[in-house]
Homo-oligomer: A and B are copies of this chain.
Amino acid sequence: MLSSTEENYLKAIYKISERDNKAASTNAISKEMKTTAASVSDMLQRLSSKGLTHYEKYKGVTLTEKGNKIATALIRKHRLWEVFLVEKLDFTWDEVHELAEQLEHIQSIELVNRLDKFLGNPKFDPHGDPIPNADGIFTHRRQVELSELEIGESGALVGVQEDSSTFLQYLDKMGLKLGVELKVLEKFEFDSSVKLLVNHTEQITISNKVCKNLFLKK
């Protein structure tokens, strides 16, 4: 049985490795976990001695199959709880992340599987992120960053990169929720901002930073 702390490290390693497509560095983990590099270095040795990670001093760390399974199960739990909070308890998508960070550590495979069933086996969480099934298999979806679209192209908003409250509240303000149809009207070279047509009606302009955090299905 792992501590919540160890579980959080595994999740951080999973996240970083996936994002950067390489072993997670001590510094990257310390930034993600908001701890010092010294603490991370310490923990990496412990995780490796438990067979959860492959670790070579100074060379970064990756998850073993065992570590990967645990990280995936955590993500499954996190996202299912987020669905529960939004669908059943009427929380908004910007309120659920911190709560799910706690709920994901509840130890019970039976609980998460029943929750899954109760929610109707959802495939995506409130931020459009895929929910792995009980075997750890993710549903894959063809999607592109909004910034990759050419002028005139359009697509449906299916996901977001970030899940910080401030970003999600900004999207709400702009009328950008999952499912809306977006068409690229103009691109401004100066700051890479983009003018969009939302649901064939309203026009808005968003920054490049926002673009890079939106996933569309063409």
A-to-B contact residues, CB < 8 Å: 85, 88-91, 99, 102-103, 106-108, 111, 114-115, 118
CB distance from A86 to the nearest CB of B (A): 11
A89 contacts B102, CB within 8 Å?
A: no
Chain B's closest residue to A111 (CB) is B99
**Roughly how many angstroms separate A32 CA and B191 CA in the complex, as a whole number?**
64
B106 contacts A89, CB within 8 Å?
A: no
A89 contacts B115, CB within 8 Å?
A: yes
Contact of A114 among B91, B103, B108, B115 (CB under 8 A): B91
**Roughly how many angstroms separate A99 CA and B89 CA in the complex, as a whole number?**
20
Chain B's closest residue to A90 (CB) is B114
B114 contacts A106, CB within 8 Å?
A: no
A107 contacts B102, CB within 8 Å?
A: yes
Instruction: Enumerate the 7 nearest inter-chain pairs by beta-carbon distance, A residue then B residue, closest first.
Output: A89-B114, A102-B106, A89-B118, A99-B108, A88-B118, A99-B111, A103-B106
